[in-house]
Structure 1
Amino acid sequence: MLNKLLQHKLRVLLFAVFVVLLASVRAFENHLFYDPFIYFFKQDFYGKQLPHANTMLLSLSMLFRYSLNTLFSLGIIYALFKDWKLVRFSAILYGIFFLVAMFIFLTILVWTRNENLMSMFYARRFIIHPILVLLFVPAFYFQRNAVVKQN
């Protein structure tokens, strides 16, 4: 196994760099992004009013954060599989997912506000955290092994 890792040291290094970059997005979230809900959702938020948020600035900030997470996640997928078709397919899925998730988040934020705090919490979480890479990597790995076993 160690021998295999040494053969693919550039891929392992790329993977590690992209994981560190994803962690950096999370570590520096307070400095990089406008998000008045970061502190709100870290505390006990039941029964409290949502903080005022500039919806346009929040949307642009979430787009920026999602774009960074997507870029680094696509880097992880490329480092692991070295397949541009998978990267393109993943990028399309990331784009579709962003449009759907932002529509849901903004709908909850603008029209329901304080009635659906947990729905807003989870919709926001799906946008700002790189959850899709946790689904794609095992799925692509399983698919690649299933195709190899069939041949």
Structure 2
Amino acid sequence: MSRSIRIVVTIVLFGLLFLVRAYEMDLFYDPLIEYFQNDYLYKTIPEIDTWRLAVDMLFRYTLNTLISLGIIYMIFYNKKYVKFSGFLYMFAFMIMIIVFSLLLRTSFESGYLFPFYIRRFIVHPLFLIILLPAFFYHRKLVRKKN
């Protein structure tokens, strides 16, 4: 695949990430969006359908993951990076959704920051921001070694 096509596809994929974020209120059930935007320090947690929230978080995480894996593949054109990232995304989701569900059951009694950041990692493609520089650095080390 030519470099110019990969650049265009990468830009389109980043655009898709922005669209997912722009239409999050329409696409996904997440009453915590408004909760964390407003005076969450002084309000109680809104009524939440836990299963619906978990399923929608899974859907959003999967959507962001697939787009992120496409970006990683288009930038590095390396299936090993995509495979590693896929396993990382899958393992991270399993851990984060369990912890988030437990925190949700306790109504964030231990504080709001930990669940806030776990939710943020689930609903936003933050692993992409971590993985891209890591893969660039790894690629630089491999080239320097050879």
Tell me if the contact between 1:34 and 1:61 (Cα under 8 Å) persists in the aligned partners.
Answer: yes
Q: How far 1:123 sits from its partner (Å)?
A: 1.2
Tell me if the contact between 2:9 and 2:74 (Cα under 8 Å) persists in the aligned partners.
Answer: yes
**What amino acid is aligned across from residue 80 of structure 2 in structure 1?**
K
* Richer in helix (by share): 1
1:21 aligns with 2:16: yes
SS of structure 2 residue aligned to 1:116? coil
User: What RMSD in Å do the two structures reach over aligned CA positions?
Assistant: 1.1
Counterparts of 1:105-144 in structure 2 under 5 Å?
105-144=100-139
SS of structure 1 residue aligned to 2:30? coil
**What amino acid is aligned across from residue 85 of structure 1 in structure 2?**
K
Q: Which residue of 2 aligns with 1:67?
A: 62
Counterparts of 1:3-42 in structure 2 under 5 Å?
8-42=3-37
**Stretches of structure 2 lacking an aligned partner (at least 5 in a row):** none
Deviations 1:99-138 (A, max 9, x none): 1111111111012434422221111111101000001111
Q: How far 1:73 sits from its partner (Å)?
A: 0.3
- Between the aligned partners of 1:95 and 1:66, the Cα distance in structure 2 is 10
Tell me if the contact between 1:49 and 1:114 (Cα under 8 Å) persists in the aligned partners.
Answer: no
SS of structure 2 residue aligned to 1:113? coil
**Stretches of structure 1 lacking an aligned partner (at least 5 in a row):** 1-6
Q: Which residue of 2 aligns with 1:148?
A: 143
1:81 aligns with 2:52: no
- Between the aligned partners of 2:73 and 2:54, the Cα distance in structure 1 is 28
SS of structure 2 residue aligned to 1:46? coil
Query: Bigger CA drift: 115-124 or 62-71?
Result: 115-124
- Between the aligned partners of 2:101 and 2:32, the Cα distance in structure 1 is 13
Using structure 1 for the length normalisation, give the TM-score: 0.92
**What amino acid is aligned across from residue 66 of structure 1 in structure 2?**
Y
- Between the aligned partners of 2:16 and 2:144, the Cα distance in structure 1 is 34
Using structure 2 for the length normalisation, give the TM-score: 0.95
- Between the aligned partners of 2:24 and 2:107, the Cα distance in structure 1 is 26
Q: How far 1:47 sits from its partner (Å)?
A: 2.1
Query: Bigger CA drift: 115-124 or 138-147?
Result: 115-124
